[in-house]
Amino acid sequence: MNKRRLGKSDLYVSELGLGAMSLGTDKAKATEIIEAALSLGVNYVDTADLYDYGENEEIIGAAIKGKRDQLVIASKAGNRFTKGKEGWEWDPSKKHIKQALKDSLKRLQLDYIDLYQLHGGTIDDPIDETIEAFDELKQDGLIREYGISSIRPNVIKAFAERSNIVSVMMQYSILDRRPEEYFPFLKEQNISVVARGPVAKGILSDKPISATKADKEGYLSYSAKELKQIRDLFMQNYGSDHTNVELALQYCLAHQPVAAVVTGASSIDQLKQNIQAVEKGTLSDQEVENIARISKQETYEQHRF
């Protein structure tokens, strides 16, 4: 699988990343999916300390033993929780982030994390203190690079201009094109985008739309009727050449500065489908333009620059 560079770092990630949140707590099944992903060319695994209150990291740590040199491991911090208790609190303080990193390293059974990300954030946070924490962790060799996971433009801008982030994880898909407004800025800053949610909660997958909640609830500003119309247009225009998943993943990857699309996988079949969709090739410029014409180009209404 092709690999792309994260920002100006030395990290090269597979165009498809494995989003670990969907792995669940069945260790045998999760391990099977992780091992299959690695054998099929995926080198990028994305987790977070909050997923299953640390259990997700523990499962990954056990599954990747002996394979460390093949992997780019990403995790996240900022949500303070106590295992065994429901709920969590937002805490972007230096003290918490440093402790969270130690806890994640222990669960993952690693000496360092490749990409450590702030798991959210607001413009009212002590941003300079947060940045200082990540910079010190990098200086200490406990992380190789850091980034943020956020869809708030003002937060992204603050970190882009005041820190050494190499990536921003953002919800991005054909049905949520709001991030595109800020792609030129991120490209100028040499910061990569990692796209999460590229199949929009399954709406852009190849299963019937009736099998998704969107069939009744819609998605973002799209009504259920509009979503069905888009799916029909995809079938009419591209059905003979592309699956919906291919369109969804390749559309995201066709845009700079996107480095990778991160998808979950609850089965090996689903994993293989996503990998095949990425490896099949790229959409033509005309296909990308046509897909953009079919979908909405909206912008974030809040937390703007």
C-alpha distances in Å from residue 199, one per residue of 31, 108, 250, 265, 274: 23, 28, 11, 12, 10
Structurally, at CATH architecture level, domain 3-294 sits in Alpha-Beta Barrel (3.20)
pLDDT at 84: 78
User: Is a pLDDT exceeding 90 seen at residue 262?
Assistant: yes
Which of the four pLDDT bands, split at 50, 70 and 90, describes residue 87? Answer: confident
User: Is a pLDDT exceeding 90 seen at residue 85?
Assistant: no
Positive or negative: CA dihedral 138, 142, 145, 150? negative
Distance (Å, whole) CA 258 – CA 171: 12
pLDDT at 59: 97
User: Is a pLDDT exceeding 90 seen at residue 210?
Assistant: no
User: Is a pLDDT exceeding 90 seen at residue 244?
Assistant: yes
Nearest alpha-carbon partner for 296 in 151, 174, 171: 174
CA dihedral 192, 37, 110, 85 (to 10 degrees): 90
- According to DSSP, residue 297 is labeled -
Nearest alpha-carbon partner for 78 in 53, 106, 104, 49: 49
User: Is a pLDDT exceeding 90 seen at residue 281?
Assistant: no
User: What predicted TM-score, i.e. pTM, was given to this entire model?
Assistant: 0.96
Q: Where are the alpha helices (DSSP H) in 16-110?
A: 27-39, 55-63, 94-108
Q: Report, as residue numbers or ranges, the catalytic residues.
A: 51
User: Is a pLDDT exceeding 90 seen at residue 111?
Assistant: yes
Helix (H) and strand (E) counts in the chain: 11, 12
Averaged pLDDT, 238-248: 94
Distance (Å, whole) CA 16 – CA 190: 20
Q: Domain coordinates of the chain in residue numbers?
A: 3-294
Please enumerate in sequence order all residues whose Cβ is within 8 A of that of 179, keeping only pairs 6 or more positions apart, or say none. 151, 170, 171, 172, 193, 195
User: What percent helix, strand, coil does the chain show, rounded to 5?
Assistant: 45, 20, 35
Nearest alpha-carbon partner for 44 in 66, 75, 65: 75
Q: What is the DSSP string of 156-178?
A: HHHHHHHS---EEEEE-BTTB-G
Please enumerate in sequence order all residues whose Cβ is within 8 A of that of 141, keeping only pairs 6 or more positions apart, or say none. 112
* Model confidence pLDDT, tens digit, residues 180-208: 999 999 999 999 999 999 999 999 998 88
Residue 149, judged by CB atoms within 10 A of its CB (0-12, 13-18, 19+), counts as buried
User: Is a pLDDT exceeding 90 seen at residue 55?
Assistant: yes
Distance (Å, whole) CA 61 – CA 36: 16
